[in-house]
Chains A and B, each alone.
Chain A
Amino acid sequence: MKEIHVSKRNIFVAAILFVVLVMGLLVLQNWPIRIKKDLIPTSAEDSLASIAAVSAMDKFFQVDYQEGKEAWLMRICEVSTPAGCEIFTAGADHLWEKYLDARTVVSVHSEALEKLADSGDEQIWKISITLSSALPGSNKTQDTAHIVLLNTESGWKFDRFLLEAEINAILTRLKPSGMENK
């Protein structure tokens, strides 16, 4: 049998290293890091869905009238479900006419604020959107979107914007009990 010699000095150094490591872990676990709770996805799926949601809003609200409607829709459809793509394609004529008339060029920054609902394969996300300049018919450069994400074979995809009635219903549901009458 092979005999290994360990000096007292080495044992002392190892003990100090162990104590420092344990202390460091404890400090890291309890450090009061100030991160908005809602911004932290609670699971890997949430994380993927929130990335898809942000990407979809970035593509939807990044408008450059010079690139044409087709290029704009193509970007949107890349991150959308087939049904969602069809809705946007069929319903975007009037929207694009406005962008064209106003010679709109807008860049965008989006941020996932909160997951509002989750039914397994579907999630509702509230997204904060900041534009470089206002879109035609609006003077706002910051707004929030409430959107449906669907888990498909090719990952989380943007399905559609919630209707106003749906947003109100979801926000009402999320109110703490007792708030309804105030």
Chain B
Amino acid sequence: MKRTLLSLIILLLLIPISVHAQEEDPWAEVFLADGTLNPDLIDLGVTTNYPEWMSMDLPFGQTIDLEANYHRFQTASGNIVVLPSASTLFFMAMNPQESGLSSAYGGLGNGYGSLISFLGVVSGDNLDWGRIQADHPEYTQPDQFWNAVLNGQQEVWTYFSGWSFITTLLQISWDDAALRSFYLLYMNGVLDCASLPGGCSGIVTPPPATRQCPDATVRLQQPVLLIQKTAPNNPLVVGQDPENRRGADILARVTIPPVIFTWYEPIYEERDICRAVRAGETADCNTGLGSSVKDGVTDTILVFKECRTHVERLPDPVASLQARATLDGASQDWITSKLGQTHYEAYIHQANFILIPGLGSWTGGCDGSGVCTATGQALRVPFADPGTFLLRLDLITKGTFFRGIQITQPRQVGMDGALQVYVTLPALVP
């Protein structure tokens, strides 16, 4: 209940802020005048990584890597728009310098009101406001405190009085990738993509255009991902299904539309002219520069005529495809607590399966129209525990190239699915 409430509040808070187009305002190419996202933006898709500022240090020098997750767009002028997931945004706010939050356009004192509201909601009762006021009477409002935190002037961890909200926030972010709508803008992000949140994944780097013709354009289309159970209709835990240890079949399929690369070729035509005569040449025409006799030499030059448009459908093949299944936390809890109470020695047999590559494999390729596909299957996966298995599909593409020049960087995308595994429990009927 608490978790659902938190999700709803975050979702409400993260409704995209209306940014009105203004002249010379870089946000103007991100949002239309009505506040909606400009459809001309290049959707770079979702990318994930494991930054140091989101790692959890354990004893004995061990670390657990927490996943940062960003949805990014590229503007026509090379700026990058980043939408972090809710948990990523929280950790960015806690580490504004290291995460690159403070290098986003606009400065932290300007337009970050909704980020401050977000932090207030996420931390909720877990922030000891009474102690903050006792230690720092200069903060009369929570907003002032959060503003100082975001500017790197105020340490925040001392003032948390609850801790599990961070784990809940991470879980919410993973379970619901839609919980993101806070926009960060990085000016000229294309030129220094390595320092961007999410790095260079999928960044479009078109070659320099000729002077006579427009800049080349790139249009990415989001890959279509699918991961699902294909058989049987209602899988039973292995051992209970009629066919002995039938398990379930999992299918993963990816279709990546081509990257549309439009470039313009300058077309020249030869034109006869009469140019000034050089030493050793014999004049054979009149340049028309005021002389009444022949004062020039006939020659030809190349004159720009037009720009010829070329539309290339560049394939972005799959470089790697991975799929896994994980018994969700609630099901594990149910098996060990509720089921364990009625069925002696109920335990979790196997909560995690590496489906592809592992129990199954994948193949892929691209057709003549630039559409790339990849399909993987894991057959008869021996799910032995009842409950919901979270399916996860991750893929990395190779990026696109045109005449040896890289046009788009490799993309990392993923999607979640779910699979229900059933168990038949004997019941005493009175």
Contacts and interface: CB of A to CB of B under 8 A. Distances in A.
Interface in A118-156: 119, 122, 124, 129, 131, 134-135, 137-138, 140, 143-145, 148, 150, 152-154
Interface string B327-340: 01110110011000
Contact of A154 (B50, B160, B168, B336): B336
B57 A122 contact: no
Contacts, number: 139
A153 B329 contact: no
Given A95-B62, A134-B60, A169 B170 contact: no
B66 interface: yes
A89 B351 contact: yes
A85 B335 CA distance: 14
Contacts of A69: 352
B58 interface: yes
Contacts of B155: 165, 169
Contact of A140 (B61, B168, B347): B61
Contacts of B168: 83
A74 B347 CA distance: 9
Interface in B151-173: 155, 157-164, 166-168, 170-171
B262 interface: no
A50 interface: no
A122 B163 contact: yes
A87 interface: yes
Contacts of B353: 70
- Give the interface size class of chain A: 35 or more
B61 A82 contact: no
B59 interface: yes
Contacts of A134: 60
B328 A173 contact: no
Given A70-B351, A82-B171, A83-B167, A137 B56 contact: no
Given A89-B351, A91-B67, A145-B59, 7 more contacts: A77-B348, A86-B329, A91-B64, A144-B59, A148-B164, A148-B167, A159-B163
Interface of B: 50, 56-67, 94, 155, 157-164, 166-168, 170-171, 174, 326, 328-330, 332-333, 336-337, 347-348, 350-353
Interface of A: 61, 69-70, 73-74, 77-78, 81-95, 117, 119, 122, 124, 129, 131, 134-135, 137-138, 140, 143-145, 148, 150, 152-154, 159-166, 168-169, 172-173
16 contacts: A73-B351, A81-B329, A83-B167, A86-B170, A122-B164, A129-B59, A129-B60, A135-B61, A135-B62, A148-B164, A152-B333, A160-B164, A160-B166, A160-B167, A165-B155, A165-B157
